[in-house]
Structure 1
Amino acid sequence: MNVGALLSFLLFTILVAVISWYKTRKENLQTAAGLFFANRNLGFLVVGGALFFTNISAVQFIGENELVYTNNMSVMAWGISSVLAMLIVSELIMPVYLRSGISTTPDFLEERYDIGTKRFVSVIFLISYIVNMLPSVLYSGAIAFNGLFGLSNALHISYWATIWILVWLIGLIGCLYTVLGGLKAVAISDTVLGVGMFAGGILLPYVALKYLGHGSVNTGLDLLLAARRDHFNAIGSAKDAVPFPTIFTGMFLVNLYYWGTEQYIVQQALASRSLAESQKGIAVACVGKIISPLLLNIPGLIAVMLYPHLDNTAEVFPRIVSDVCSPVLTGFIAAITFGAALTTFNAGLNSTSTLFVLNLYKPFKEWRQEAVSERQVVRVSKRFELLVCLLAMFIAPFIVFAQQGLYTYIQKVSGLFSVPIFTILVVGLLHKRMPAIAAKIGLTFFIITYSVSQLLVDTGLHFLHVLAILFVATVLLMLLIGTLYPRKEPFVQQWNNIVDLRPWKRRHVYTVLLLLAMVALFVVFSPLGLAE
């Protein structure tokens, strides 16, 4: 174990924690608004940093670089194509949420359909976080940390035992962080780490190319461009992990769901002080997505040249960092990776308690005509966070047995929960007389048929295409039900806004610039560019 790297890691990690503590020391965390929504007072830079780094976790560092190494740059599509989805959410969905004054996305589904739909979706969210999202974040963080510091060799214990230890270490620290700091601490940490990631995104490819070129960055770049040009291609074929046509089918739907419905993401934007600040924050997060391939994909590309044969491809990212970086830079990138795991885990924990307490526990108490104080809400939420944390830590190590790589596993499982919820949201927005029973049948139909297609029947189709087909089928089923049993009165949204709803005046200019940058990246990493 490199002592210098470890000291550097501790220094940067403690610095982030101190900044977060200083910025949140006067926050009132004894109310639901303070604990869950930072008192709805976040500016656009904090919103943008929180959105971006809550999305970026060790899953991306590990999973995307692994897929670049084993396939090509086609995995870049997940992050880059999400820019379009984020801008659509900024323009069309976020104004609806802020106008309603909701606390969770199921709140809007209650307003649109009924309380049964809200409970159904809240339970789906909770299951998704407990069995997929939170364990995946812990597992990928453990892989990264072990690879960067070589803990299993240093401690002379098995890889399996090391993963268990690191999963529990990250989980317990993350739980403590969330319980003590609330959403504001998570958002501040995300912003600081986002700045660090941009710095790391420039430094890591630079030193990796210098290492490849035996001291010369230009030589390293020439060597990289002269060999394995197929790895530069982001236009994936049917045999690649991300076939290019999936960008326009299931991937587009997943990205719209993620940025427009996923509770732990939307909650960051709902905490903004105005619609304009929320839209500016989403634009800042889009800039982050445009730059992110520097750290999430390019190292995997360089690793193809450095390590022609790796037994454990999940260790591509930590291996290249530990080999090419100085101890200080290794510790810095380790702090970013560790922080990415922590902040995403923290945001997920905060959202699970938000969903449970506000959508299930509090309504149940009110149904029993029992008074629920703010202090009781906060106390129950912290206890629930601890329970969820323990469950996630028990599940996480077993992801080692997942097939097709970590990133593909996560996306495939999340599809079971994500697109069904987005489907009923879209239909509810566009069809004002769609009844609640249609939403419940649509959710059930989608979840069952997708499960069958992935576990019991080999369709021969990429899972993203399956999601798109089921989206269309579910919409048609809901339209049929809506025609036979329409609502008596059309849905009319109630205005209950608690922030300024004036939109950002210059958003359209920045939308065009961001979309041009998105298209330009695909052109650069295509047969028209570097992959010729």
Structure 2
Amino acid sequence: MPELHLIDFGILGLYLAVVVALCIKVTLRNPDADELFLAGRSLGPAVIGLSLFASNISSTTLIGLPGAAWDTGIAVANYEWMAALVLLFTAIYVAPVFLRRGITTVPEILEQRFDPRLRKYLSATSLFLSVVLDTAGSLYAGALVLMLFFPDLSLGPTCAAMALFAGIYTAAGGLRAVAYTDVVQSIVLLLGSLILSTLVFAEFDFSWSAVSAALPAEKLSLLRPLDDPTLPWLGTLIGLPILGFYYWTMNQYVAQRLLGARDIQAAGWGALIAATLKLLPLFLMVLPGAMAATLIPDLDRADTVFPRLIIDYAPAGLTGLLLAGLIAAIMSSVDSALNSASTLVMVDFVKPRHPELSDRHIAKLGRWITLLLMLIAALWAPNIDRFPGLFAYLQQAFAYVTPPLVAVFAIGMTTRSIDARAALHGTASGHGVSAILFIGAQLGWHNIHFTLVAGLLFVLTILAIYLWQASDASRASAAREAAPIRHGETVSGALKISALLLAVATAVLVWFFR
């Protein structure tokens, strides 16, 4: 059993006290619906960027990235640098459209382009992913680590306790409480990860040559062969952009920070800050996990790499800081997912059916919905223990569910030749093919890598949408009357230049670790 010292408990207590104080301060505002769901549309770039980073670098990432790197190498970092490029694209081309149209949820954009059915389709799917994957996965990962430090804990009650803590302050303070606590949590998370990665690198005398000599070359390569079972280069090229676009642009769990921006420039600079921070996990989480393959070769399961590194290399005091970083990761992901899920339920389902409800009533009901979703996620989280690995659980689920949604969004953004009927039926057809491919993978009918499946499903869904449109030529003229949803105010020239420089830096990083 790892030993925690008094200073460790002191640091943990200080972190929790700061979070509670922030939540109390925000809750005293007695937020209405706009405040609860979008922080009054007043968030600045720093808060947006740090909150985007903290909500994404969750406990699932802290556990999943080092675990995958320990097992197969650093190619798992492709998700991170690809996210940076997607965020840059979103900042320049998509966020301005969102803010100009004044939407509260991302699915609203599909209603504006097509009809309410597409809005509810995307909203229901996003709601499922937010509760079953994002929230439950974060609770499970956090409980897994805390149980190593406190062996008397058990999985179910630990998940429930974390969900209760995050659920209460999310329900009370809304997005502002989530975003402001995310700022604190991202700082703690970055500092803790930086210290741990430094301690691990010190085991190699801070020598990259020593690391290269200790690990096989393929474990230090981002671009893997086409037949690589972990992440083939073609999957990185055609699959990860699709998964990343859904996560960073269409996923209410993440996009809600952009929707809460005070203006288009704040959203753009916030996304740029988050994109910059997304280059750090390679150094702070992935490489330490790969190095741990030589330092701790005898693990029973890869998901325990991060807590083992804390146990073996963090001295008194630093263990408390790292545990605070872990709890920060848990809270930032759980609170974000709960708030976004509640927003989807209230704005996309309840409010359209009951337009007579006041903002105060919507906010009150939204708080109860938050607590209900918290309960569902807490009940499901222990079941993730039945899956072989946390990161695989998350990424494979996204790969089979999200590409048809990205396809219909892309259609809506770029063309006016598709009507609502074709878009809905084509998206449903894409999910039908997705279900067949998923079942086939479980039964061993194919072994196509899930990133390649994502690219395939994207293309097949677009084809299905056009086929449905062609099946009723009489609808073509009506479809042309609908304007694509791509137009909007653009960001500043300075932001575009900064985005270009960051894209170049990302390319250099990939080339170095190719």
Amino acid at match of 1:275: I
CA–CA separation in structure 2 for the residues paired with 1:132 and 1:420: 18
CA–CA separation in structure 1 for the residues paired with 2:224 and 2:250: 27
CA–CA separation in structure 2 for the residues paired with 1:33 and 1:169: 28
Cα gap change, 1:298 to 1:364, in 2 (>3 Å)? same
Q: Is 1:476–2:463 an aligned residue pair?
A: yes
Aligned residue number for residue 529 of structure 1: none
Q: CA deviation at 1:253?
A: 0.6
Q: Contact 1:74–1:244 (CA<8 Å) still a contact in 2? A: no
Q: What is the DSSP-based 3-state SS (H/G/I as helix, E as strand, rest coil) of the residue aligned with 2:262?
A: coil
Aligned residue number for residue 513 of structure 1: 501
Aligned residue number for residue 239 of structure 2: 250
Q: Contact 2:440–2:446 (CA<8 Å) still a contact in 1? A: no
RMSD: 2.0
Q: How many residues align?
A: 502
Q: Is 1:429–2:413 an aligned residue pair?
A: yes
CA–CA separation in structure 1 for the residues paired with 2:87 and 2:450: 22
CA–CA separation in structure 2 for the residues paired with 1:465 and 1:191: 35
Which residue, out of 285, 288, 291, partners 1:296? 285
Q: Is 1:137–2:173 an aligned residue pair?
A: no
Residue ranges of structure 2 left out of the alignment (5+ in a row):
none
Q: Contact 2:215–2:291 (CA<8 Å) still a contact in 1? A: no
Amino acid at match of 1:12: Y
Q: CA deviation at 1:48?
A: 0.5
Q: Contact 1:52–1:289 (CA<8 Å) still a contact in 2? A: yes
Q: CA deviation at 1:310?
A: 0.9
Aligned residue number for residue 413 of structure 1: 397
Which residue, out of 472, 483, 486, partners 2:476? 486
- Map 1:146-225 to 2 at 5 A: 146-147=147-148, 149=149, 151-152=150-151, 155=152, 162-210=154-202, 212=203, 217-218=205-206, 223-225=210-212
Deviations 1:135-170 (A, max 9, x none): 1111111112223x2x12xx2xxxxx6222221111
TM-score by length of 2: 0.93
Q: Contact 1:131–1:395 (CA<8 Å) still a contact in 2? A: yes
Cα gap change, 1:103 to 1:495, in 2 (>3 Å)? farther
Q: What is the DSSP-based 3-state SS (H/G/I as helix, E as strand, rest coil) of the residue aligned with 2:154?
A: helix
Q: Contact 1:349–1:388 (CA<8 Å) still a contact in 2? A: yes
- Map 1:282-431 to 2 at 5 A: 282-366=271-355, 371-403=356-388, 405-431=389-415
Deviations 1:298-326 (A, max 9, x none): 22122112111211221001110121012
**Which piece of structure 1 moves more, 9-18 or 302-311?**
9-18
Amino acid at match of 1:293: L
**Which piece of structure 1 moves more, 132-141 or 41-50?**
132-141
Q: Is 1:107–2:108 an aligned residue pair?
A: yes
Q: CA deviation at 1:429?
A: 1.6
CA–CA separation in structure 2 for the residues paired with 1:53 and 1:464: 25
Residue ranges of structure 1 left out of the alignment (5+ in a row):
156-160, 527-532
Q: CA deviation at 1:19?
A: 4.0
Deviations 1:486-521 (A, max 9, x none): 251522379999xxx562330122112211221222
Q: CA deviation at 1:12?
A: 2.2
Q: CA deviation at 1:120?
A: 1.9
Identity, in percent, stands at 26
Aligned residue number for residue 87 of structure 2: 86
Aligned residue number for residue 446 of structure 2: 459
Which residue, out of 235, 243, 265, partners 2:223? 235
CA–CA separation in structure 1 for the residues paired with 2:282 and 2:10: 27
Deviations 1:326-365 (A, max 9, x none): 2211111111111111111111111111111111111122
Deviations 1:355-377 (A, max 9, x none): 111111111224xxxx2122211
Q: Contact 2:53–2:186 (CA<8 Å) still a contact in 1? A: yes
Q: What is the DSSP-based 3-state SS (H/G/I as helix, E as strand, rest coil) of the residue aligned with 1:81?
A: helix
CA–CA separation in structure 2 for the residues paired with 1:332 and 1:294: 19
Deviations 1:184-219 (A, max 9, x none): 111111122222233223211212233x25xxx34x
Q: CA deviation at 1:17?
A: 3.4
Cα gap change, 1:110 to 1:163, in 2 (>3 Å)? same
TM-score by length of 1: 0.90
Q: CA deviation at 1:119?
A: 1.5
Q: What is the DSSP-based 3-state SS (H/G/I as helix, E as strand, rest coil) of the residue aligned with 1:236?
A: coil
Deviations 1:43-64 (A, max 9, x none): 1000111111111101111011
CA–CA separation in structure 1 for the residues paired with 2:301 and 2:106: 39
Q: What is the DSSP-based 3-state SS (H/G/I as helix, E as strand, rest coil) of the residue aligned with 1:272?
A: coil
CA–CA separation in structure 2 for the residues paired with 1:225 and 1:414: 33
Cα gap change, 1:287 to 1:494, in 2 (>3 Å)? closer
Q: CA deviation at 1:378?
A: 1.2
Which residue, out of 8, 11, 14, partners 2:14? 11
Q: Contact 1:275–1:504 (CA<8 Å) still a contact in 2? A: no
Aligned residue number for residue 158 of structure 1: none
Cα gap change, 1:392 to 1:385, in 2 (>3 Å)? same
CA–CA separation in structure 2 for the residues paired with 1:346 and 1:400: 22
Cα gap change, 1:285 to 1:332, in 2 (>3 Å)? same
Amino acid at match of 1:271: G
Cα gap change, 1:439 to 1:496, in 2 (>3 Å)? closer
